[in-house]
Amino acid sequence: MGVSSSLENALAGVPSGYRFVEGWGMVSGSHSRFVRPETVEQLQLVMKACQEEGVLMTLRGSGCSYGDASHTEPQENRASLVIDLTGLNRILDFESHGEGPDGKPAGYANVQGGVTFGQLWKHILPQGHWPRVVPGTMQPTIAGAASMNVHGKNNYMVGAMGANLRAVDLVTPDGELHTLKPGDDLFRAAIGGMGLLGCITRLEMRTQPVHSGNVAVRGVSATCVGDMMRVMGEHEDSTYYSVGWVDCFAKGKAAGRGLIHLARHLKPGEDPEPDKTCKLSYQQLPASILGFPKNEVWRPLRILNRDLGMRNLNRAKHFMGKREAKKGEYLQSHAGFNFLLDFVPNWKFAYGRKHGHGLIQYQPFLPKESAQGVFEELLALCQQRGFVSYLGVLKRHQPDDFLLTHAVDGWSLAMDFKVTPQNRGRLWDLCDAMTQVVLKGGGRFYFAKDLVIGPGALRRAFDGESVQKFLEHKRDLDPKNLMQSDLYRRVLEPYNAPVDLPLTHY
């Protein structure tokens, strides 16, 4: 359905059009009308016109959420618009000599919501700072990340995005701009609020002073998932970053073996040439990998990207990890350590580029008491069903009090699964079985990654009072219920239906 004429007026002069808008995993998406405002005023006019005309709005940053958080299927008899926020991409200000609420030296970057992590670190590193929280790729926008309350490899140490924000501006569907601060109830709703209350147009985000362009990294080989959790747990008070790569093919006593990376910032004076290592030229990821131009590396990866190839690759990585663990501490650039996945651009294409092919990620968060048992059960379940994740990543987390929080004092295990039209039904069945195990263990789910969870799982896993408070905010700020996404209609809209809700969305 087309959009109304008063909205057409608001769109005049603003970049807009039609395109296929999909989740990062390439498994979901649809052809949509989009607009890409370049100023906050343009955005306000567009949102106001949508509100007047009853047009559905879906907010989108860089589209790095694996599933359906930032796209929308056409709805019967309702016009809809994807609002692409990447045009609001100005770094407004950077204050390098501030103090955090903990009294420690801090910087604060004042950025528009569409600024990416890549843009931000390139601006602040030459000034001796690094963002406190970054996800595993530098592509996401800061506002998109705040809307999912993303975490880095140091979640246990510094909290997630929301804990490192000093203020955000939120434009609500009526076009009004609100400045929210930690402590405001609406701040607790908007951070992690999946873009359903309004559009975040500006953020003040804490940054970390650094004394080098490198971090000191140490590999530790782990014999099984319990061993990995023990080692990471032992270092959590003293190590700034900690992440475990898990070989999901290993069985029996070796289930969950892998390689841990522990990393710390260098002390003042430890790097004799900080001006050199903080230069962008030093942080460049290599232009080629094993002789292949890096933009093309996904092509040979596609040949490996099946069970046999990935089993061997994981095994080789485990044995190389044992060697790495013997070499002690080594230096790696901030960009190299934090954005390892960006070394191979478009690596996801190795999962297939035809319609219906792609990948999903299943990343449950488990309390520390039940995590090990649940992860062991999940790894075994995957193997029994013949779906082994090609990449497993273990992280340690801390809880927070945002209304839709997925966080726990515990651990998450992220697992990537290849999707094809042939395996889709069986894979969703496996996810259903895994969800039952996770719920038994008191776990939660992370919607930045998810495409499979049904509303019943949200109802059972999340704090009901907080979800109701969130929905109240949504009714207040968005009385016509226009801020929607496929994710919203999948898990939140049915939340209060007086029926048994499914755990999995097929």
Ligand X SMILES: Cc1cc2nc3c(=O)[nH]c(=O)nc-3n(C[C@H](O)[C@H](O)[C@H](O)COP(=O)(O)OP(=O)(O)OC[C@H]3O[C@@H](n4cnc5c(N)ncnc54)[C@H](O)[C@@H]3O)c2cc1C
Q: Write out the residues near ligand X by the rule CB under 6 A.
A: 24, 59-65, 69-70, 85, 113, 135-137, 140-141, 143-145, 147-148, 150-151, 194-195, 199-200, 341, 448, 485
CB of 295 to ligand X, least distance (A): 16
CB of 274 to ligand X, least distance (A): 26
Alpha-carbon torsion, ordered 424, 430, 432, 438, to 10 deg: -140
Closer by beta carbon to ligand X, 145 or else 210: 145
CB of 24 to ligand X, least distance (A): 5
Closer by beta carbon to ligand X, 113 or else 336: 113
CB of 147 to ligand X, least distance (A): 3
Of the candidates 465, 460, 311, the one whose C-alpha atom is nearest the C-alpha of residue 386 is 311
Closer by beta carbon to ligand X, 28 or else 277: 28
Kindly report the backbone phi and psi dihedral angles of residue 333, in degrees, each rounded to the nearest multiple of 5, phi listed first: -65, 155
Q: CA 235 → CA 106, 133, 148, distances in Å?
A: 24, 19, 27
Closer by beta carbon to ligand X, 114 or else 213: 114
Contact (Cβ atoms closer than 8 angstroms) between residue 333 and residue 281: no
Token look-up 């430890």 returns: 270
Closer by beta carbon to ligand X, 164 or else 277: 164
Beta partners for residue 260, in sequence order: 220, 244
Closer by beta carbon to ligand X, 64 or else 255: 64
Contact (Cβ atoms closer than 8 angstroms) between residue 404 and residue 471: no
CB of 195 to ligand X, least distance (A): 3
d(Cα 306, Cα 303) in Å, to the nearest integer?
Answer: 7
CB of 494 to ligand X, least distance (A): 17
Q: Which residues contact 325 (CB under 8 A, 6 or more apart)?
A: 219, 220, 221, 259
Q: Which residues contact 177 (CB under 8 A, 6 or more apart)?
A: 40, 44, 169, 170, 171, 201
CB of 118 to ligand X, least distance (A): 11
Contact (Cβ atoms closer than 8 angstroms) between residue 84 and residue 62: no
